[in-house]
Amino acid sequence: MKSLILSAVFAATATAALAASHGMAPGVTAADQSVANGVVSADRVIAAENGWLVVHRTDAAMKPGPVVGYAPLRAGENIDVAAILNEEVKPGEMLMLMVHSEAGGMQTGAFEYTLGAKEDGPIRIDDKLVMATITVQ
């Protein structure tokens, strides 16, 4: 088990280094948008590993709040990532689109994160969350 964890850490580190060497630093690019159709989109997401684009409620304090949607990500560049919202979000509200890992959960391919949990938790680079914040139009 220990070697499996070390292999996963090495693979994630190698993928991040490869992405960075090709000018693809992990990040989220998204613009303010309407979510009247029940979907929020990121124009581009660079992920160091397979994981999730997780949509958190937030506000001017910029603290991640409850999860209101998510979409799967593959390692590398992801274009036009759409997350279906699981509750109503009104114009003027803020959303944080954040990259989460697939690691630590019990089931691959199932989003298992709850606020503050370690399963499928947020990815940090230099202790900073990989995310973008938008205001709903």
pLDDT tens, position by position, 8-42: 444 444 444 544 445 689 999 999 999 999 999 99
The burial of 123, by beta-carbon neighbours within 10 Å (0-12 exposed, 13-18 middle, 19 or more buried), is given as buried
- Does residue 111 surpass a pLDDT of 80? yes
Residues 45, 73 contacting (CB under 8 angstroms): yes
**For the chain, how far is it from start to end, CA to CA, in angstroms?**
47
Give bridge partners of residue 28 from the DSSP assignment.
45
Residues 17, 25 contacting (CB under 8 angstroms): no
Tens of pLDDT along 45-77?
Answer: 999 999 999 999 999 999 999 999 999 999 999
- Does residue 4 surpass a pLDDT of 90? no
pLDDT of residue 23: 61
The burial of 28, by beta-carbon neighbours within 10 Å (0-12 exposed, 13-18 middle, 19 or more buried), is given as buried
pTM of the prediction? 0.83
Cα-based torsion angle of the residue sequence 29, 72, 20, 119 in order, rounded to the nearest 10 degrees = 110
